[in-house]
Amino acid sequence: MSTPHIIVGTVASDSHMWNLVYLDLALRELGCTTQVLPVCTQASHYLDAARTQAPDLVLVSTVNGHGVSDAVRLADNLRTAPELAAVAFAVGGKLTTSGHLPDDDLARLDDAGYTFIEQADETSDTPAELRRIVQEIARKNDERENSHVRSSR
């Protein structure tokens, strides 16, 4: 199975750092390669990284409670970039201040282009959620590679 390369960052308003450290370690334990962007991540940080690294996944983590609006704005800025047009996006963390993610916020994130949306709460199993995301990305990569092999025969 191929090992995904993942760009990990947060949103412009968020200065929390340990969530990014945690995700970096957990994803590397799952066999991924990672690039962690600075806190208060700007869209330009993601674009600069994507231009040089061809990621399989952009993972946005935010815990300050303003994640929904910030992540939607971020995706709006990134989705038009050719380097990221075919790349999957994930968002997770403490996305709201209420502790849960209302359906309309879930729909906004889905519409913005996030394939994986994980609201953290006391019942969350972050390692299991990350494993599921990584397996899904690796499966898609393998499918794409196999179809290239078939079509080049």
Which of the ranges 30-38, 71-79, 93-101, 142-150 carries the binding residues for ligand B12, by CB under 6 A? 93-101
Which of the ranges 18-26, 81-89, 103-111, 141-149 carries the binding residues for ligand B12, by CB under 6 A? 18-26
Report if residue 16 touches ligand B12, rule: CB under 6 A: yes
Q: From CA 106, how far away is CA 43, in angstroms rounded?
A: 21
**In the window 30-89, what residues touch ligand B12 (CB under 6 A)?**
59, 61, 63-65
Of 41, 44, 51, 46, residue with least CA distance to 11: 41
Length of the chain: 153
Helices in 79-118 by DSSP H: which ranges? 103-112
Report if residue 94 touches ligand B12, rule: CB under 6 A: yes
Q: From CA 119, how far away is CA 109, in angstroms rounded?
A: 12
Name the residues that contact ligand B12, by CB under 6 A.
13-19, 22-23, 59, 61, 63-65, 90, 92-94, 97, 118, 120, 126, 129-130
